[in-house]
Structure 1
């Protein structure tokens, strides 16, 4: 039931923009359409509640960006108050009454003498205009000017932190965005504060109009005695003014609090308490001064004595707290020094080893620690062993041990997969739930947590175990949490396999087959190619999802062509041609036909003429509009064939293939590019599309 409630609440909050639009239109309608007294009372209460909410929000706001919509809210609330003023004025002048709220304010403040209420009203308006609003306007103006002047320096500081590695690109983008939003906020506040000042002036004018108009209309037209009319409409207009100006004063105070706040990690109350009453010396001196006032003749003894004792007690507690902090700090420094001495006694080898990152590792939040328990039958370690065997069989690489660590900085249900210390993938697991994957429907008929399947990005949902059987019967794919993580890990390893293949791993592969195929290894390394050159060819193959488990064929091909060229890209092409059946096998359809997308001859000729070599390999240097046309054509054909479930590859000439693949790598990473020399003679070819440039 609670899940359904929160789901409905999310739908309502998702439509807030429509609700706000109707609210603004209602404000404009209130200016024209008369409101009954009951509805006016409701609107006045909403106005008071809204102003109190805004004031409380500013007290708990840590940074102005947490309430960046305040200038716009200031305009809307000002218009709301003015619309209420007009509606109440209409009721006062036409019916001689304006509802219970205004009457209650008038009786509570003015009592039987409306002059007292008028004096209080004038004092509130003066405080708002001359003190709060005037000061807030000046602070907003100066803050906007200083923030704008400091913007280039702050941007340079962000760039310096980014270049030095103190922050990453995402953090730099966020800081730049926050800086821009802060400048826009103070600029908007500089103008928005004028709304409040204008509101106060309009309140005075409307109050005078209410008083004069009410007395004139009801004394001259309705025959009411002038003194009675003055007393009646004096109280009503003062009540109306107070109901309007008190919320206005609250919002003016909120505006002043917000623009005078400096950046803080805590709310206003916490910061003020620590800064104003955080010094034991100040509190003890205050206690002495108050006690002196308490014993001086003529001064009230009890208030000064009470505050003096309380200040002294607070100062004593602060002194004890400072002593405790100093003791803890000294103990911490001693522990740190001891740890430094212990660390310096370690050998250099141990220190160097501890600094090296793992080739592949998994970090889990504390809520996922049970899946790493080796005492359980279905644990992550057993699955990792299976993945390493599958990788060796399917890809031909030997994975280093995969380390599992708990990371308290992660959320309880989060995990990250790292390759050489860098986060490559991340996800979220719920050990007490099951993931159901969308079978093609637009919505899930279960109460759960919407998510994305991390390995393939499919729509999914975490549901309770009680819904598992029902989801299975409905045709959903039901996956347990550990399988979700294992599948994600396997896909990440396969996509990053070339990064995991270093020289040490290549040496282990060669040593594994040396007893049986030592001749080709001795011929190839180091007389023809170095170990690093062989590694680059193997990495190039893995980049294009070609397994290297036929290592003998790869090495023999390199031995055949290694004396002719040392270019790793050319050597890779020779190896691909030798592994032609392995290259095309994943892309054959059920009838063992290779369905290909060809390239218009003129386009292929253009690409051939524009190929240039670089340290990163061959790449065609084309005009941007030409590249865009090629990409658009590939996108249209690739999406159409993928939607129909047709496996396909892009067929190119041997000269163009490596450069074309490099061009398409980032935009079409899953599109295979093969050359005519890589298609076995006995494999039928069927053309299913053509790329135009």
Structure 2
């Protein structure tokens, strides 16, 4: 029985979401019912109160929202609340015109309270107040919010390509995974959809304001006609009774409309940060004590003028002076704490006569990152530094793509370099450096950015692209103009990832080779036992893998590598020759790296005469003549330039005996060239030579 009960029991998530699924249809049915069915005054009071409560909730949610997409349902809620107000107007109009002659309480206590308490029972004042509310809602808030939504939608759509490029840059740098990249792309699309919906939804509120004004005129005229013709009321009595009820009805509808319009303005006018609207206003408005001092001076001078309300002005002067004193004292404490944190004290320890030992020998770290003191918060987990997490992600992504785990990055501070500078070292030798300014963003021009930005011009340290350090307020503008905008942590992480990939063969030492063999022993124990070190020594195995990594060939397909070595190692002993046969076995994956799919490969080729000449020179052991070498380098550089302008990878296909030596020769001067052997390309893969060297 217990098992049967558990099978029949609905999942908790399903039960919890039943009422949420039904909320929308129930609300629609309520709205339709209010338009068609007559309502009692008590029900009308309940629904008017519900409308006011919903509008206040919407405004508060908008105020406490930190990111725009946290309230993505706002355009739909705007539609439902507008329909709710209009249906209430219909229901209240019906009851006002039917029972308005019975007295001020005929349409319920809420309308009576708004008609008497708020405007003092004077229908002339009520009309003026109602018209003012409509003008404020229609001409100021709704019109402004609609314009902001329209411009925001256009800017968000224009900035989508830049945001997508930034996501792709983080993905390629290993800072995020595929799941995170997919999530960010969805957020970018949802943001564009949200602003597009807000652009249209703002018209609901605008139309509601117009409808409220027209409904009031209709109710007043209709009430006069019904009161005088059907109930034999005097013109003055009919005007007073029906106008007060109409004004109460209009006010009870327009005040929630004004609140909802304000919420719409808050949503579209806010700038997305980690603070809600209240925090943003308080922190930014009362941040500078000088502003409050100058304001206090102006108010104080006005307070001393005879005839002015001196007490009120001087009271606000005292309050502003007290606030300025408090803010100034608080900011000075913060500055002292930051200064103490950023610049560590140098304490000279007392020197003791201690005998030297082997523990004093400091070994060089295979991979190191040194940062200036301003960048210490980025690498301090106690200060929520995110760079360490990104470095771990880089090592994990590298291991998944290349096939071995790179050494741990040893991070340390270095007070000898500039405060915002960093150095990347490989076995104690600097291989890269750059600058990362905390609190600013690096706008990188990928080649198609338009316009200029205010900031400090620089160069992207990873790829040498022109870039500008900008303030956070210009981030959206830079993305719209086509720049790829990244934060300082991403700058360092991308540079580190690029250098790790570039020097992967040097990072793959004998220790990493042994660790890889130990890992393979768990997956393929028999194959490893028969091959290493029986047929292939660990040194030869290490050298073959190093040769592959030096030419950016992944060693993930270890089964193919081991099987190829097992087949050819008994005959070939030279690591270079073994590397060549392993490359042929890995040919399909190498080609896929540069030409995905099964389509045509558009490559650079060698003229037959030049290829024959190079074969004779290399096989004879004489090497390439200087004039021929210079001409070969010049023509290869020109061919690569032509290939890259056509959007094709710089791949040169040569005869198999030439590949190894020609690749080593060309890479000394042209680092981005890829040299493939004709045997590395499958028979079913079509090839077209776009540029020929030696013609």
Q: TM-score, normalised by structure 2?
A: 0.53
1:278 counterpart = 2:260: no
Q: Aligned partners of 1:617 and 1:144: how far apart in 2?
A: 43
Cα pair 1:503 1:532 within 8 Å, conserved: no
Among 535, 552, 555, the alignment partner of 1:524 is: 535
1:79 counterpart = 2:88: no
Among 238, 251, 257, the alignment partner of 1:229 is: 238
Cα pair 2:227 2:238 within 8 Å, conserved: yes
Cα pair 2:69 2:191 within 8 Å, conserved: yes
Q: Aligned partners of 1:541 and 1:280: how far apart in 2?
A: 60
Aligned equivalent of 1:614:
588
1:29 counterpart = 2:29: no
Matched residue of 1:524: which SS? coil
Among 324, 343, 352, the alignment partner of 2:365 is: 352
Q: Aligned partners of 1:617 and 1:295: how far apart in 2?
A: 84
Aligned equivalent of 1:107:
116
1:48 counterpart = 2:61: no
Cα pair 2:227 2:233 within 8 Å, conserved: yes
Among 154, 167, 176, the alignment partner of 1:145 is: 154
1:310 counterpart = 2:319: yes
1:123: Cα distance to partner? 1.0
Q: Aligned partners of 1:505 and 1:52: how far apart in 2?
A: 63
After superposition, give the CA deviation of every residue in 1:310-335 in whole Å (9 maximum; x if it has no partner). Answer: 11111112222232223223222321
1:331 counterpart = 2:328: no
| Uncovered stretches (5+) of structure 1, i.e. residues with no partner | 1-6, 340-345, 357-405, 411-416, 426-499, 512-517, 549-554, 572-610, 625-693
Q: Aligned partners of 1:509 and 1:336: how far apart in 2?
A: 46
Among 277, 287, 306, the alignment partner of 1:268 is: 277
Matched residue of 2:344: which SS? helix
Cα pair 2:175 2:393 within 8 Å, conserved: no
Matched residue of 1:352: which SS? coil
Cα pair 2:34 2:91 within 8 Å, conserved: yes
After superposition, give the CA deviation of every residue in 1:619-641 in whole Å (9 maximum; x if it has no partner). Answer: xx9999xxxxxxxxxxxxxxxxx
Q: Aligned partners of 2:148 and 2:545: how far apart in 1?
A: 68
After superposition, give the CA deviation of every residue in 1:339-376 in whole Å (9 maximum; x if it has no partner). Answer: 9xxxxxx98954516859xxxxxxxxxxxxxxxxxxxx
Q: Aligned partners of 1:56 and 1:124: how far apart in 2?
A: 21
Cα pair 1:102 1:236 within 8 Å, conserved: yes
Q: Aligned partners of 1:295 and 1:519: how far apart in 2?
A: 99
1:56: Cα distance to partner? 1.0
Cα root mean square deviation, aligned: 5.2
Q: Aligned partners of 2:196 and 2:364: how far apart in 1?
A: 53
| Uncovered stretches (5+) of structure 2, i.e. residues with no partner | 1-10, 101-105, 349-358, 370-380, 386-391, 401-509, 522-528, 547-554, 600-695
1:250: Cα distance to partner? 0.6
After superposition, give the CA deviation of every residue in 1:2-28 in whole Å (9 maximum; x if it has no partner). Answer: xxxxx9798344541322122123212
1:128: Cα distance to partner? 0.9
1:216 counterpart = 2:225: yes
Cα pair 1:75 1:192 within 8 Å, conserved: yes
Cα pair 2:532 2:538 within 8 Å, conserved: no
Aligned equivalent of 1:403:
none
After superposition, give the CA deviation of every residue in 1:390-445 in whole Å (9 maximum; x if it has no partner). Answer: xxxxxxxxxxxxxxxx99979xxxxxx999756999xxxxxxxxxxxxxxxxxxxx
Question: Which segment drifts farther, 170-179 or 193-202?
Answer: 170-179
Q: Structure 1 11/297 Cα, relative in aligned 2: closer, same or farther at 3 Å?
A: same
1:94 counterpart = 2:105: no
Cα pair 1:71 1:189 within 8 Å, conserved: yes
Q: Structure 1 81/419 Cα, relative in aligned 2: closer, same or farther at 3 Å?
A: closer
1:168: Cα distance to partner? 4.6
Q: Structure 1 9/98 Cα, relative in aligned 2: closer, same or farther at 3 Å?
A: farther
After superposition, give the CA deviation of every residue in 1:493-526 in whole Å (9 maximum; x if it has no partner). Answer: xxxxxxx995324778999xxxxxx999776344
Q: Structure 1 524/53 Cα, relative in aligned 2: closer, same or farther at 3 Å?
A: same
Cα pair 1:510 1:521 within 8 Å, conserved: no
Aligned equivalent of 2:164:
155
Among 184, 188, 193, the alignment partner of 1:175 is: 184
Q: How many residues align?
A: 440
1:322 counterpart = 2:331: yes
Q: Aligned partners of 1:13 and 1:44: how far apart in 2?
A: 27
Q: Structure 1 149/354 Cα, relative in aligned 2: closer, same or farther at 3 Å?
A: closer
Cα pair 1:283 1:311 within 8 Å, conserved: yes
